[in-house]
Amino acid sequence: MLDYALKHQDTVNTITQWWEVGLWKFELEDHEWTMLGQLRDVLKILKDATLYFSRATPNLTTVIPAMDHIYNMLTSYSHNKKYMLSICSAVQLTKNTLNRYYQLTDNSVTYQIAMVLHPQHKLAYFKATQWEDDWIETADRLVHEEFKCLYLSINDNSDVESKDNVFKSNDNVLMV
């Protein structure tokens, strides 16, 4: 909608200047058109994310990288001096709201384990995107604990120590 209005700015201005139909009160000033253009640019990341997630069923291993990308883009927008202060403030509020919900994934063992076990991501993803070391260590520990709890107890407990040596993780490989 913003794309359309901005593309047809001259036409919109002409129509809103018609006093006889009472649209003059909707006429935008130049700084408001500038704000609309900036708002369109900033909202594009959310539009793209919506389209991305509507094309296929999102899964745990696509949500986290997508959220990281959105967060990084919003951070960039909120600090960019080319945007009006009102846009930067709105982006910061959006980022704060997103972060509040995104942090809830830290409470989900499933998210952490899925990312660590994913062949493409593993712990290297979190290191590359500069996640906190504590979070990375916790995710690694959770995978080990879940394996020990759910899989080692299935087999003969007499050789648990030898199986502990088989389950090792590093940045690129997770062997079971």
pLDDT tens figures, 55-106 = 877 777 788 888 889 999 999 999 999 999 999 999 999 999 988 888 887 7
Q: How far is CA 9 from the centre of its chain?
A: 32
> What percent of the chain clears pLDDT 70, i.e. is strictly above it?
87
Q: Measure the CA–CA gap between 139 and 176, rounded to whole angstroms.
A: 17
Q: Is the full-model pTM beyond 0.85?
A: no
pLDDT tens figures, 106-136 = 777 887 888 888 888 888 888 888 888 998 8
Torsion sign across C-alpha atoms 141, 72, 89, 13: negative
Domains in the chain: boundaries: 109-176
